[in-house]
Structure 1
Amino acid sequence: MRWSHGSVAECFSGRNNSLGILRLSLAAAVVVSHASVLGFGDKEFGYHFSHGQTDLGKLSVYGFFVLSGILVTRSGNRLPLGRFLWHRALRLLPGLWLCLAVTAFVVAPFLYWRQQGGLDGFWGHARGPWDYLASNWAVAPRQKDVSGVVATAGESGLAHSPSIDAALWSLRYEVLCYIGVALLAVTGALARARRVVLLLTAVLGLLIVRDAVCDPFWAGFSDSDYYANIQFFEVTGRFDPDTVLYLAFAFALGSVIELYRERVPVSDVLGVASGIVLIGSLRFGYLFVVGLPAFAYLLLWLAIRLPAPFRRVGARHDYSYGMYIYGFVVQQSLVAVGFARWGFWPYLAMSLAGALAAAVLSWHLVERPAMRLKNLGSARTSPPKAGGGTAGPVPEAAKVPEAMAPGSGKDLVGSGNPV
């Protein structure tokens, strides 16, 4: 039996991997985690097990940032700056804008009509649908509710979050990481000075060690001072320094894996050990010091070593982003119309089914068509075939699909230290 399978460079260079099912599983885990708090006001899964360090939803966010670090760094290393930013915008913005429009002009009016028996006062509300679009289009969600539909549901004790789609909070942190990759690419660090990335990752890690020395069960960031922190521009919203540190560390771990891929071994022993370390750190502390690096390697190992049938999931259609950005809206809507009263399992089943249905529509109607524009304006040449002629358009060199890292709800009420 082989326990070692070469390096990441040898095993993780094409589309023959399980990234699709990993991303979809992480997105589904966010929905599962939110079900307990949004539907019933309980702590999210894993919160008690980890002594408040994290929960299932938050851990999934870290996983997304690790995978995004790998794939976005690869994209930044091979594309010119303008095309890199164009690709990132296409992957992020069209799906987000559709989600905002559906939330403001389909979901919110329905909930308002059901609550009020009509739409009088909906369109002219001080924080109505147009205000929701204007406040949230630039990736930073600065208006939580639409015409008070969530607040109205909360009056009857059914809503445990003041936001109709709190899942959007992490997107601006993702964009911040994109900007970091762009700066490293422009300065040549990605291509010619990768030790700079290693050094930056080490500095982030040392800052996290500093927190862990004071408290082994440090939770990374808290909601209490979330709205009193850094704001670069009004449209970007506010950034929590702790959140920047911990998510940037997860992203940087992925970047280091990508840049040093020829030196990172693919080992079954290390894969199993990383899983054990992750579980141990969740239970006994120091999650972000040892558990997060272990989680990064575990995800990489699973992407490479999961059996072939798993690799077909998400190979052509990536529903993870859509499931993430619509999951919270679906769950809040189900709560607002009273379906949570049926119990946890029916509520969870409806949440997952609704989020997946929205994700499928989002991918086929908006995200996938938008991604077809990624080579707009680029000159694509065709190498000559053996024996003459041309071979047709040449796809881009890297065949690993570019990732988006969704997050989960930041401002959940009664969820302890949620994402």
Structure 2
Amino acid sequence: MRLLLAFAVVVSHVYPIGWGRPDPLWSWSGSQTDLGKSAVIGFFAISGFVITGSAVRLGIGRFVWHRVLRIMPGLWVSLLLCATVLMPLLFRWQHGTLDGFWGRPDGPLSYVTSLGSSSPTAGWDVSGVITEGIRAGTNFDRSLNGALWSLKYELLCYLLTALLAATGLLRRRAVVPALTLAFWLLIASGATDLPDGVPLAGGPGIALPLLGQLTWHLAAVLGFTFLLGTACRLHAGRIPVDGRLALAAALALAATLRWGGFGPIGQPALVYLLLWAAARLPRWCRAVDEIGDYSYGVYICGFPVEQALALVGCAAYGRLGFLACSLTVTGVLAALSWHLVEEPAMRLRGWTPRPPRRSADRESARPGVTS
């Protein structure tokens, strides 16, 4: 399910990257959402469902360590390869030389170190490559990897989960549903809605250390969806997996997309549909999981792949041709990311620092002490 949602984001980005306009769902839904944002919402719900199991099962230190291993190695490698391999190739494509690429203030070093800063321009381009593409009419988005906007919100949700687990509140049945209801009330009341014409990344919010600038609107929407997934995991035994409820959820989702109310009604309907579908997937789908979890690789690679393909003129193949190229290259890079970076990093999940291990060994060797 996560892999399908990640590829849905790639499909959605074909329109703004290749032609400078949102995907068709944006206008069909009355500017409530598009395919990419809906997929991100679904991803947060599944993430809440899965991550909660880890938080309940593991200690707080081990939980944080697992999250770091799952997110950071793939992200760091992606950023480095984009800044030091992809962008130099594209710069040379544009100028026929690498002279002037490495020493610019907005060069590769600046991109890697400033991404995630609260500055609105930090990490968006490398040595003017995308800007040059915009001047040439091949590109329409100024960011090398605009998909990373959601990562800081996911990290925020991880921190919330860690806090709930550390304080013991995650195991109290009423706490997470109460928090979810509070977020739902914020969304239903419109308290976090953005004024007309204000972009999602530019609304009122707060700047936090490491995470950078966050908007109240996105924090409320994605936090609500994440908490829905968390609540579903904690109360899974009480939630029926019923085809009739799935049909009702599908009708509610379609109605809210078309006539309004996607936030308070459509989002919960979407979450139920995704979890119902995950429970009802045929057994052969599990073969995909046995190959590897490519969803994160698709997420971190899709946007720069599409930007690069647009810059070299692949939009001339039309939407289907551009999409086929994007999905193929992104899929290959996602597989490489999993097998060469992410999976090897995840093998360190059981690692324990050497000094504490020695201390534990000495303790177990004492007379009268058993493991």
Could you tell me the TM-score, scaled by structure 2's length? 0.91
Match of 1:163 among 117, 126, 143: 143
Amino acid at match of 1:90: L
Match of 1:150 among 121, 130, 133: 130
2:65 to 86, 93, 112: 86
5+ residue gaps in structure 1? 1-21, 381-419
Match of 1:247 in 2: 222
Superposed, 1:52-131 pairs within 5 Å as 52-131=31-110
Residue of structure 2 aligned with 1:229, choices 202, 205, 216 = 205
Q: Is the 8 A contact 1:53 1:219 kept in 2?
A: no
Task: Give me the whole-angstrom Cα distance separating, in 1, the residues matched to 2:54 and 2:230.
Answer: 11
**2:282 alignment counterpart:** 307
Q: Secondary structure at the match of 1:161?
A: coil
Within the alignment, does 1:173 sit opposite 2:149 as a pair? no
* Contact kept in structure 1, 2:53 and 2:233, CA below 8 Å: yes
| Separation in 2, partners of 1:61, 1:302 | 17
Q: Which residue of 1 aligns with 2:183?
A: 204
- Report how many aligned residue pairs link the two structures: 354
Residue 356 (structure 1) aligns with: 331
- Quickly say closer, same or farther: Cα 1:48–1:227, change in 2 above 3 A: closer
In the alignment, what sits opposite 1:292? 267
Structure 2: segments with no counterpart, 5+ residues: 358-371
Q: Could you say what the CA RMSD is over the residues aligned between the two structures, in angstroms?
A: 2.3
Deviates more, 1:34-43 or 1:357-366: 34-43
Q: Which has the higher contact order (CA 8 A, sep 6+)?
A: 1
1:360 CA displacement: 0.6
- Report deviation, 1:224: 6.5
CA distance in structure 1 between the partners assigned to 2:23 and 2:201 by the alignment: 21
Instruction: Quote the offset at 1:46 in angstroms.
Output: 0.7
The verdict on how the C-alpha distance between 1:88 and 1:139 changes in structure 2, with shifts beyond 3 A counting, is farther
Which protein has the bigger helix share?
Answer: 2
AA partner of residue 108 (structure 1): M
Identity %: 44
DSSP 3-state at the match of 2:25? coil
Deviation of 1:227 after TM superposition, in Å, equals: 6.7
Shift of residue 274, structure 1, vs aligned partner: 1.3
Quick one: structure 1 residues 271 and 220, their matched pair in 2 at CA, closer, same or farther if it must change by over 3 Å? farther
Which has the higher mean CA deviation after the structures are superposed, 153-162 or 88-97?
A: 153-162
Cα distance in 2, alignment partners of residues 348 and 181 from structure 1: 36
After the TM superposition, which segments of 4 or more aligned residues of structure 1 sit over 4 Å from their partners?
Answer: 137-141, 218-222
Scaled by the length of structure 1, the TM-score of the pair is: 0.80
Give the equivalent residue in structure 2 for 1:18: none
Supply the AA of the counterpart residue of 2:215.
D
Task: Tell me whether 260-269 or 359-368 shows the greater mean CA deviation.
Answer: 260-269
Q: Which amino acid aligns with 2:159?
A: I
**Equivalent residue in structure 1 for 2:243, among 268, 288, 293:** 268
**Counterparts of 1:69 and 1:220 in 2: how far apart (Å)?**
30
> Could you say which residue in structure 2 is the equivalent of 1:188?
168
Amino acid at match of 2:139: A
Secondary structure (helix, strand or coil) at the match of 2:236 reads: coil
